[in-house]
Amino acid sequence: MINTADLIVIIHFLWALFMVLGLPLGLLLRSPALRWVHLLGMMITAFYAISGAQCPLTVWEEALRRSTDQDFTFDGGFLAHYLSFILYPRIEPWILRGASAFWGVLTMVTMVMIKPEKRKGIKK
């Protein structure tokens, strides 16, 4: 059975996946809605990364784990164990901040350079 903290890890993983794949997917599918949602999400993500603030999902997960285990370590359950290394890589924080800022700027530049337009239907 999945506990709440593991569920948050899954949601966090899906969020991170969308932040990475949302830009190319939005361009490939030519979906204005997808591109705007991705831009908003990327701005939120970049804000947390650049400011050095912890992601609310990380804070929430840690609080849930500590509430059930006072000797909390980031091992977690099965899902957390297999997804945490992706969400919390052991690299310098400035690298993640820089990558998030770069991807956020690239997303904004892409919105300006390749304007999100509604698909044009086939005319008869």
> How confident is the model over 7-25, as pLDDT tens digits?
888 898 899 899 999 999 9
Q: Is residue 118 part of a domain?
A: no
> How confident is the model over 24-34, as pLDDT tens digits?
999 999 899 99
How many folded domains does the chain comprise?
1
Query: For position 123, what pLDDT does the model report?
Result: 52
The DSSP letter of residue 71 is: T
Query: For position 34, what pLDDT does the model report?
Result: 94
Closest residue by Cα to residue 11 from 85, 83, 88, 90: 83
What is the residue range of 94's domain?
4-113
> How confident is the model over 44-99, as pLDDT tens digits?
988 888 888 888 888 888 888 888 776 665 554 544 555 666 666 777 878 878 88
Q: Is residue 107 part of a domain?
A: yes
Q: Is residue 37 part of a domain?
A: yes
Q: Is residue 22 part of a domain?
A: yes
In terms of Cβ atoms closer than 10 Å to its own Cβ (0-12, 13-18, 19+), residue 45 is buried
